[in-house]
């Protein structure tokens, strides 16, 4: 998911259908990873994130209650990674020995993954397209790599009045120029990427954008499926 909020709605209030889509046919017990929180406690984050999951008949429990976080991940059927600061999140995932473990659970055990904001950034190959300030230095920018392309959550087109710096479009174009062959999926707030069986689909009401070096920006409409290895080539 691009964001925890959409417009004036409450925390994950917009995401009920998106959560149901991911949780369909699996356990309703969700392991929450709050490591992106910086200015508030993990307990407070769990209290904030639990009600939207309860609304879709799921029980969310934070990993910080477990003495062995690696064992908690190994036993999880659904993992939810919340937003906050992507650099702090990735640094703490490495510190807890969870980067490889989460990736293994996703690819080998079929564990479901739900992320929003920073939790979406770490699902990509690296966190190089996050909007966050690098308040800490993780051991590596390499992340979970659950999809083969970069994602830019919280995408806002254009420039606010009075802003004289680069737009988000310009920043992402710079990334694709200096990293030839890499693509970036830009998700506006309220939208999400749903991945199943090697294909992706945009959930929500708003289109996503694809940035590729040397090519015009392309749209992916909500409900339009595409192969993960061919982000620029929708299949239906």
Task: Read off the pLDDT of each residue in 133-145 and give the average, rounded to a whole number.
Answer: 98
pLDDT tier, 80 (very low <50, low <70, confident <90, very high otherwise): very high
Q: Strand runs (DSSP E) across 108-203, as ranges?
A: 112-115, 150-155, 183-188, 192-196, 199-203
Please, which pLDDT band fits residue 15 given cuts at 50, 70 and 90?
A: very high
The residues, any chain, with a CB within 8 Å of residue 200's CB and separated by 6 or more, are 147, 193, 194, 225, 226, 227, 228, 231
Three-state DSSP at 153 gives: strand
Distance CA 211, CA 168 (A): 11
This prediction's pTM: 0.94
Can you read off the two tokens belonging to residue 187? 């998700």
Q: Is 66 a catalytic residue?
A: no
Catalytic status, residue 199: no
- Report phi then psi at 149, rounded to 5: -130, 165
Q: How far apart are CA 170 and CA 162, in angstroms?
A: 17
DSSP state of 229: G
Helix axes of 42-54 and 16-23: crossing angle, nearest 10 degrees? 80
Catalytic option among 41, 132, 191, 232? 132
Q: Which two tokens stand for residue 170?
A: 């310009």
pLDDT at 1 over 60: yes
**132 assigned to active site:** yes
From the candidates 3, 4, 62, 117, give the one annotated as an active-site residue. 117
Q: Quote the mean pLDDT of the chain.
A: 94
Q: Do 218 and 232 contact (CB within 8 A), yes or no?
A: yes
pLDDT category at 236 given cuts 50, 70, 90 is: very low
Q: Which of 2, 14, 154, 191 is catalytic?
A: 154
pLDDT of 235 > 70? The answer is no
């Amino acid at each position: 998911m691009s964001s925890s909020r959409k417009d004036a709605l409450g925390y994950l209030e917009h995401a009920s259908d998106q959560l149901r889509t991911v949780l369909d046919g699996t356990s309703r017990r969700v392991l929450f990873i709050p490591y992106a929180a910086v200015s508030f406690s993990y307990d407070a984050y769990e209290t904030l994130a639990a009600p939207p999951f309860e609304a879709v008949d799921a029980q969310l429990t934070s990993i910080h209650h477990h003495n062995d976080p690696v064992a908690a991940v190994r036993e999880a059927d659904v993992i939810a990674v919340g937003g906050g600061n992507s650099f702090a999140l990735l640094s703490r995932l490495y510190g807890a020995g969870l980067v490889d473990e989460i990736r293994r659970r996703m690819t080998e055990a079929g564990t479901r993954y739900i992320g929003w904001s920073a939790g979406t950034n770490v699902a990509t190959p690296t966190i190089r397209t996050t909007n966050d300030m690098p308040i800490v230095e993780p051991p590596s920018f390499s992340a979970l790599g659950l999809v083969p392309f970069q994602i830019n959550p919280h995408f806002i087109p254009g420039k606010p009045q009075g802003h004289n710096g680069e737009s988000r479009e310009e920043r992402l174009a710079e990334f694709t120029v200096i990293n030839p062959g890499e693509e970036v999926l830009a998700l506006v707030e309220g939208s999400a990427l749903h991945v199943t069986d090697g294909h992706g689909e945009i959930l929500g009401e708003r289109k996503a954008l694809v940035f590729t070096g040397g090519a015009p920006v392309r749209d992916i409409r909500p409900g339009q499926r595409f192969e993960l290895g061919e982000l620029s080539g929708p299949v239906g």
